[in-house]
Structure 1
């Protein structure tokens, strides 16, 4: 990897105020890229941007109005966007409903990245960009029911909701690749590995374990977790529409993850909920 080989490239990294997003921003700026550091916390996002030499943008993905404002700011600031890294995410132990009326895990992990991508899509296509989506191996045992995934009531588990949202990430990636085929846009999803990040903070069981001596032996550091994202920025391998378990190409083992009809229905549902049309042909 040559130093400063990303000079002239503009890269947007969401969820970059901490964890692997912050580490990815640091690695990419060291290679010469202009990096938009997107985060929810004003203090942490500004600090990371200042430390790595990026530009801070504040947005809470639990609010669609802030995602729309973010998209406007990015379009005003950057005449081209070479990479959009949809890395922001989270998990909540109890069902929470956002101000937009959506189940929070589903909105933050899928609907908000979908909305941001849709709002930036013309610019991304014009730039021949890459859209890199952070997934999770939890998709393997997940079940995505479009009738209940965004319901305000009903059965709920933290892992079930998180896994379903990350299954949606893979389906979104596959459908985005299909709908933009031939435009020059490329997209991929990846699992960064079991990384010690703030995503576990809300779990009373997982959080203490992640911080324990044994947890530190088992879980990857955010720096190592960022490496697959950084690789996907400019790899010459064929990646479009594909899913990677860290660096290794994985054909999704969950049958729903390769269900084209489900991917199309998820896309239509996401457009309806976010009130946007992605602007690409069927």
Structure 2
């Protein structure tokens, strides 16, 4: 049995302080132009975020996040039918993003930050990305500790799945994200990557968001802007683990790496 084709989610950060591209696409025109580039490079989904989730990042006000994201969603939707994901922990941002044309809610808190997020999910048909994070962006990298990182994450996901389905959310709307770099050391991240098949064994699509993450720099000494080749390597290795989605900055290099890995996987 050959793995299903992986979908590539292109990252569009409309923030001044994201860890690798903060400020690069902060203006409306630059953000829309970058979305066009991601689509031209073969992105299957555009993920739009208006609040940095880098380690030690400070929260952004609701008004600022809305001003950063909603016009971009509207502009992309006028031009393209590509699925759009809103990367937010705020229920009101998610609600307005869906009204503007977004299709997916990408909540790094797994619906734990804003109690109103469940209501948004219940009253929509949007897919929901449920990510694991230990702590918050403000403190998650201070001293992350697990009994067993893979086992602890599997328990977390099962609890979230049970809670969401008991709340009336269809299981087939859920996508799991192990949260590479969110309250994890380099060793934790490597263990997650080695055992990705244990997450896909839960029977839901799994998203891997490893692009340019700090652990890649810790292992190689490369700066964030130099980690796209490393990101592509990890992307290719994920093919045989049944990963469904890859969230990346450099769509073109990831597309090529995945195409080669899928060809090898499908060979006799």
TM over 0.5, shorter chain: no
TM-score, normalized by length of structure 2? 0.38
